[in-house]
Amino acid sequence: MTNLENNEQPESVKIEDTEVNQCSSCGGNTVFDPSSGALKCPFCGSEKEIEKTQENAIEHSFLQALEKDDHSWDDEKRVFSCKNCGAETVLDKDKVADFCTFCGSSHIASSENHAGIKPALVLPFQVPKEEAIEKFKVWINKRYFAPSSLKKSYQLSKITGAYLPYWTFDSKTRSNFVVRIGTYYYVTVTRTVVEDGKSRRVTEQVRKIRWRTEHGNYNEFFDDVLVKASRNVASDLIHKIEPFQLNALVDYKSQFLSGFLAERYSIPLKEGWNGAKAIIDRRITNGIERQVHGDVVQVVSVSTNYKDITYKHILLPIWISSFHFNHKVYRFLVNGQTGKVSGNAPISALKVTIVSLVAIVIIAILVIFFGGQ
């Protein structure tokens, strides 16, 4: 039977919210409610609105950040490290975590590492836990190549809402490039063709390419190039639940994290910029190919100057969990804003074989039918 009883927050995670998040009606600890976008008391149902502002979308100097060791989040948070997978979770100073969001291990200890750069913006959860679970059920029922018994015997583990860290980068760029440009031209060629023992002369047009080399400049401003700052969630799973609608980002406030976890970035700022630069370089190459006119364009070399590099640290929401089937663990993610699901699921070799055989038979029938005409 499918086990959904483990979806509640485990007792091993002790959360003692600060007074600012206490319910004004009963004194209970309030948590962020994705459905209403407000702080909600789980005991009496009272809600307290969180003012959403977009005034803190300030770009910070990348070069200045490299010169100083920014620990601006340390006043609010402390770090817990998983000894099993290495993931680091950021929690309020008065909270204690005893399990890892990313691998489920109970080998969690308070870390001496700094919380680091404080987020500027956050994308609050919009998908409640119950909806995330329903989205997962729909997803798993569509795993057509999974074993038939999967839908009845899988066991769903704890599902946890977590904010993943991202960097965004802006940069002005000026590039000098060298390209080879090919222009098509045609020549008339006459050749001898032998058919059924008889030869005949055939004249045809053959396409050739005339090449020339050109130098030029390409300028572009890149805005909010998004780079994942987590090593603990597989990129292929993350890419499948993207995109996030970043126009819904609001100023970071600790209330949005109440009842949820946040991962400390494991990809530092400088390494994040290297990832952004790789994205920018690919876009520059594509831009040069569009800018230069020719039938064929080959980019030989590009030299780029990056100027006024700025960054922001932002948090994006996901539901993360796993399910067990035949003594194996399969992870899945749910986009906390859109509800899009990605994950790994077992594959039935028998189903794959049957589908392959059916496809081969259909192709053979089509070949016989059309080949005989």
- Residue spans of the domains in the chain: they are 5-174+219-371
Q: Which of 179, 185, 175 is closest to 212 using CA atoms?
A: 179
**Model confidence at 338, in pLDDT bands (50, 70, 90)?**
very high
d(CA 219, CA 117): 31
Of the candidate ranges 47-56, 71-80, 199-208, 255-264, the one whose mean pLDDT is the lowest: 71-80
Q: Is 50 exceeded by the pLDDT of residue 225?
A: yes
Of the candidate ranges 44-48, 70-74, 235-239, 251-255, the one whose mean pLDDT is the lowest: 70-74
Look at residue 141 in the predicted model and tell me its pLDDT: 84
pLDDT tens-digit readout, 96-111: 565 676 766 655 666 6
More confident residue, 99 or 179: 179
Q: How long a stretch of residues is the chain?
A: 373
> In the numeric block, which tokens belong to residue 135?
């989205």
- Specify the residue for token string 């057509």: 144
Q: Using the 8-state DSSP alphabet, how is residue 224 labeled?
A: E
Q: Using the 8-state DSSP alphabet, how is residue 5 labeled?
A: G
The CA-atom distances, in angstroms, between 145 and each of 123, 225, 324 are 34, 36, 17
Helix, strand, coil % over all residues of the chain, rounded to 5: 25, 40, 35
Write out the DSSP string of 78-105: EEEEETTT--EEEEETT-B--S-TTT--
d(CA 310, CA 171): 7
**Model confidence at 281, in pLDDT bands (50, 70, 90)?**
very high
The model carries a pTM of 0.79
